[in-house]
């Protein structure tokens, strides 16, 4: 799954992650190619332990849950990418053995920087 946005939009996402808000509306009107659908919102939920990235059963909501420290590590990773990445570049957020903050059950996420 891919989450794309401008630098400003990705920095807003960082703030949503840090605040742990229940929902952040997305604009699903864009062309999701090569994917079949655009998501309508992001839901951040504070739990404990590693970050779990998933999609709701109705395929409408990107769900991100995890402990405060682990979600902060995800936020810092996205912030660094948004601040230093080049347009059309992307960041892979996916579990590898001994990952610092992701759950092994987390779905792979590509964060893309657009103009």
For the chain, the helix, strand and coil percentages under 3-state DSSP, each to the nearest 5: 25, 30, 45
Predicted confidence (pLDDT) per residue in 73-95, tens digit: 999 999 999 998 788 789 999 99
Predicted confidence (pLDDT) per residue in 91-115, tens digit: 999 999 999 999 999 999 999 888 8
Share of the chain above pLDDT 70, in %: 96
Domains parsed from the chain with CATH numbers = 2-113 (3.30.1360)
The predicted model scores a pTM of 0.89
Helices (H), 1-115: 7-19, 68-84
């Amino acid at each position: 799954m891919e989450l794309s946005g401008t630098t400003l939009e990705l920095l807003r996402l960082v703030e949503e992650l840090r605040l742990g808000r229940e929902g952040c509306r997305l604009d699903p009107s864009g062309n999701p190619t090569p994917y079949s659908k655009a998501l309508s919102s992001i839901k951040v939920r504070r739990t404990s332990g590693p970050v779990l990235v998933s999609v709701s059963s109705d395929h409408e909501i990107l769900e991100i849950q995890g402990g405060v420290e682990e979600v902060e590590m995800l936020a810092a990773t996205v912030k660094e990418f948004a601040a230093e990445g080049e347009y059309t570049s992307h960041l892979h957020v996916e579990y590898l053995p001994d990952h610092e903050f992701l759950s092994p059950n987390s779905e792979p996420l590509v964060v893309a920087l657009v103009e």
